[in-house]
Structure 1
Amino acid sequence: MNGFKLRLLGAGILLLVLIGLLSGWSELFASGAWVATVLQLGLIFLGLALIYRGENAEMPGSG
């Protein structure tokens, strides 16, 4: 994947997770909700990693 697609995918993941958090889908502070918390944190880190990777992708033909 090129840098633009990686950034777009990462931003889409972050957008969906943040919409879910703001709409009350989150059980972040409920007792026994560690699975939802780990899933949400994992998706946030995945989105940020994809955006970072997209920003630092090698350009074709650049030495």
Structure 2
Amino acid sequence: MPKIKSHSGAKKRFRKTANGIKHKQSFRSHILTKKTTKRKRQLRPMKQLCASDMVLVQRMLPNL
């Protein structure tokens, strides 16, 4: 049997933690001038992946 490959785009976007999988939030890369400081600050930390998306990410990253 061939090896199961991980999805290369998903490898760059998700990290495994003790409690699950974390991901960077969207709306933080460009056009930041119109966003408030509070909004940008709250988008800064990485968030836990929700349970409904967990199945999709685990299928893309079988070796995670």
Instruction: Give the TM-score normalised by the residue count of structure 1.
Output: 0.27
Query: Counting strand residues as a fraction of each chain, which structure ranks higher?
Result: 2
Instruction: Give the TM-score normalised by the residue count of structure 2.
Output: 0.27
Query: Counting helix residues as a fraction of each chain, which structure ranks higher?
Result: 1
